[in-house]
Structure 1
């Protein structure tokens, strides 16, 4: 938690700690819930701690505050017996924060334990006034995120004025529920049956997906060998949709595919496998050299197979905003998985909701528009661009795509729903009437992925 406070990502930092300490199985699951829950829910726990401590949060040492959050989550968010939660957290405080802090932690946690979660909600959630402010505390989201998600539900047609309040609460609750571990079997390199044999269950959502209910996915040989990977089912569906939509290509020539923003490589890994299946070549482009290295590691099995098949899978470092000018009209399929606020993946990234600010949208919006414009330039006539984000925010989704369509008469939106199919090949129901689609954690069990397919007119 101290590392996360200093800028680390919980989903990257915690697995390293668990491996170093040789923590596995139920203990690893307990630890993950403890850390993720304390980080995710401190928007609710901090007001509780402030009341119980009879002092503002800002006056509590950050290390002691982390300890108190861990204790509060055990008392209010887990099924840990009260005596165990208090005793173990006080012991932690004595070891990490010192004897004086241990006494303070003991007193605060005992006061917290005197009331139920529902009683604390009644105490700290603002009464009356703005419903967004109430939900911000009760569901532990920044108030601006609550308002943005409400607008997104309405704007994407996932709720009406009459239903939006209930839908919003369901969405926020989904953000606070631990996400299942979703796996992808990269076609031609691994199979869903192989993942099932290793203990997973077939996904109902993705034809190349599986779900792991417990254990370390790194213990599965296919994952360890990068023939399969941990990947949200929504991300899998986006890559499959791009691979399925028809494109125009010169007879006798292989299709050329491009992942414009490939790091850290999840979607590129699936696209590379699909490209090889369809006899296409792929370029995975990433602006960051460090992330390019991650993409190269992820794509290593596909690169090796491409050599055997006489195909090309290339990983390179470059600014995606320049590719359109450097390689105009070169590619038949282009993925723009644009950098975004990540508001659709809050359940997987517990610290993300506290790091983003409304001001981030301006810089991201400019970058998203530049990348999409570059992608269109890099696309051959008759080819298709897939624009995706892991955010439902209207400023990062509909507004970006609509702005491009207003400026260019050589691009048209392709209805996405026809190419969004579940594991049984049936259409996935997505609310709204626009040609693009928005997936939702509370409706689809996936991250909040947005996808627009844009064809460059022949």
Structure 2
């Protein structure tokens, strides 16, 4: 019996020995290009990969294979490098970066995919020969042959046998400082640090694709169903959410028209919590202070339009502001005059328009440690210095929002990070600084507001804030704190 069919690998005729493949198939070529773009151009895989798949006209099994190979290597890099350090007879730093990516690709196929050993080795040799030269192909062949015959669990147990943070970092492929930060975040938000392994596993598990039905433009019931290409079920938490069971959501008419968007349920809840908070008095002007690329702004704009309110979206980067305009265009089409997109620094809005808005969202730039399922490369790009380096920006943005909201209005501060220095401590500092400027504000019981939006969502309360978790809720680790300006 022959082995399973693998993209780019021709099954040899019975009785014909074939253990070397000289042609690099398109799926592996795309995966290699993604890894090199991430390494050399600081690209994001979730942006580069779809573009390459379209350019190479890959779909179906080939697209799925390329996606799993590229994302699997980005997620598993820490484990694979620890394993390679025991298999390569020289420091990994001495290897060409392209060769290292080929070796990682080979290991992922050998240890984590249903690819026959001979195919994983031979096609990796072909990738090396084609993309980095003939010289390293012998090294690739020798190293991968040594790695074959054992599974990932056995290798991980050998290179990281302990239970300390250092071994967990290797076994679950996270930098050591990220493991420590996540352990501290669990404790800080009232969770058992014993959940750490579950959280690390969740970070390495591909996220389900969720859709947000924009109110007034589409409905969840219209999205749910099954056709020849896409199957969609109801969401788990967000009342605006649907869940793609299988298929390409881009085939859905509502998604193509912008009436529904691909958006994590945690991100949806950020916008819905701000919209659900009680304000005193008028409710006409809403503000998204750092709106790019526009997902939360679209949900806010549609909700605002349905209430007769208008949304102003501010984004400092012009190219991201263009993305916000695209996201808000469907809302503008059905409710003209209800959206405005500006290019500007959110830190300046409070001084320029004091007390002008009724609801303000601050979706602050952060380390993104809560979205490692979607952006696995972020764990290797960020450093501990980023935690402190981003804090002044986060505090300034929240301070500007507190100045921009009127007394009786509400601000939502959100980050895609559970780390205390990016969440609770930022809110504490911003409230103290606002008080010194004569701006009085207080925290709102955000879990109580969440209960109105999603009754019975477990384990999300974090004091007066809300903290979502990949391993508990199946969402990104979004943190949300609602604050009311009182005078």
What's the counterpart of residue 82 of structure 2?
A: 47
Name the SS for the 2:335 alignment partner: helix
> In the aligned structure 2, how far is the partner of 1:256 from the partner of 1:89?
57
> In the aligned structure 1, how far is the partner of 2:392 from the partner of 2:251?
41
What's the counterpart of residue 441 of structure 2?
A: 411
> In the aligned structure 2, how far is the partner of 1:143 from the partner of 1:422?
38
1:329 corresponds to which of 338, 352, 355: 355
Post-superposition shift, 1:432?
4.6
TM-aligned CA distance change 1:99 to 1:422, over 3 Å: farther
Post-superposition shift, 1:369?
0.3
> In the aligned structure 2, how far is the partner of 1:267 from the partner of 1:350?
22
Say whether residues 1:114 and 2:149 are aligned partners.
yes
Kept in 1, the 8 Å contact 2:411–2:484? The answer is yes
Kept in 1, the 8 Å contact 2:111–2:150? The answer is no
> In the aligned structure 2, how far is the partner of 1:49 from the partner of 1:306?
57
Post-superposition shift, 1:418?
2.3
User: Please, which moves more after superposition, 266-275 or 87-96?
Assistant: 87-96
What's the counterpart of residue 426 of structure 1?
A: 455
What's the counterpart of residue 4 of structure 1?
A: 38
> In the aligned structure 1, how far is the partner of 2:238 from the partner of 2:279?
23
Say whether residues 1:82 and 2:129 are aligned partners.
no
Kept in 2, the 8 Å contact 1:249–1:255? The answer is no
> In the aligned structure 2, how far is the partner of 1:255 from the partner of 1:278?
8
Post-superposition shift, 1:421?
5.0
1:146 corresponds to which of 170, 179, 202: 179
Kept in 1, the 8 Å contact 2:316–2:344? The answer is yes
Tell me the TM-score normalised to structure 1 length. Answer: 0.94
User: Please, which moves more after superposition, 51-60 or 238-247?
Assistant: 51-60
Name the SS for the 2:64 alignment partner: helix
Say whether residues 1:443 and 2:477 are aligned partners.
no
1:193 corresponds to which of 206, 217, 221: 221
What's the counterpart of residue 66 of structure 1?
A: 101
> In the aligned structure 2, how far is the partner of 1:278 from the partner of 1:81?
58
Say whether residues 1:24 and 2:24 are aligned partners.
no
Deviation track 1:147-176 (CA, whole Å, cap 9, x = no partner) reads: 0000000001122xxxx1x30111001000
Instruction: Give the ranges of 4+ consecutive aligned residues of structure 1 lying more than 3 Å apart after TM superposition.
Output: none
Kept in 1, the 8 Å contact 2:447–2:461? The answer is no
Kept in 1, the 8 Å contact 2:301–2:338? The answer is no
> In the aligned structure 1, how far is the partner of 2:473 from the partner of 2:291?
25
Kept in 2, the 8 Å contact 1:206–1:421? The answer is no
Tell me the TM-score normalised to structure 2 length. Answer: 0.88
Kept in 2, the 8 Å contact 1:325–1:374? The answer is yes
Q: Calculate the aligned-residue CA RMSD, in Å.
A: 1.6
1:204 corresponds to which of 236, 248, 254: 236
Kept in 2, the 8 Å contact 1:430–1:437? The answer is no
Name the SS for the 2:308 alignment partner: coil
Paired residue total = 444
Name the SS for the 2:195 alignment partner: helix
Say whether residues 1:377 and 2:403 are aligned partners.
yes
The within-5 A match list for 1:31-430 is: 31-125=66-160, 131-159=164-192, 164=193, 166-197=194-225, 199-250=231-282, 255-307=284-336, 311-407=337-433, 408=435, 410-420=440-450, 425-430=454-459
> In the aligned structure 1, how far is the partner of 2:424 from the partner of 2:448?
19
Kept in 2, the 8 Å contact 1:412–1:454? The answer is yes
Kept in 2, the 8 Å contact 1:206–1:422? The answer is no
Name the SS for the 2:464 alignment partner: coil
Structure 2, unaligned runs of 5 or more: 1-34
Post-superposition shift, 1:306?
1.9
Post-superposition shift, 1:433?
5.1
Deviation track 1:241-281 (CA, whole Å, cap 9, x = no partner) reads: 1111111224xxx5100000000101001001110111111
Post-superposition shift, 1:116?
2.5
Post-superposition shift, 1:227?
1.2
> In the aligned structure 1, how far is the partner of 2:232 from the partner of 2:462?
35
Kept in 2, the 8 Å contact 1:333–1:385? The answer is yes
Post-superposition shift, 1:444?
0.4
What's the counterpart of residue 5 of structure 2?
A: none
Post-superposition shift, 1:283?
0.1
Deviation track 1:196-218 (CA, whole Å, cap 9, x = no partner) reads: 23521110211111111332222
Name the SS for the 2:239 alignment partner: coil
Kept in 2, the 8 Å contact 1:416–1:436? The answer is yes
User: Please, which moves more after superposition, 14-23 or 196-205?
Assistant: 196-205
> In the aligned structure 1, how far is the partner of 2:125 from the partner of 2:153?
24
Post-superposition shift, 1:431?
4.7
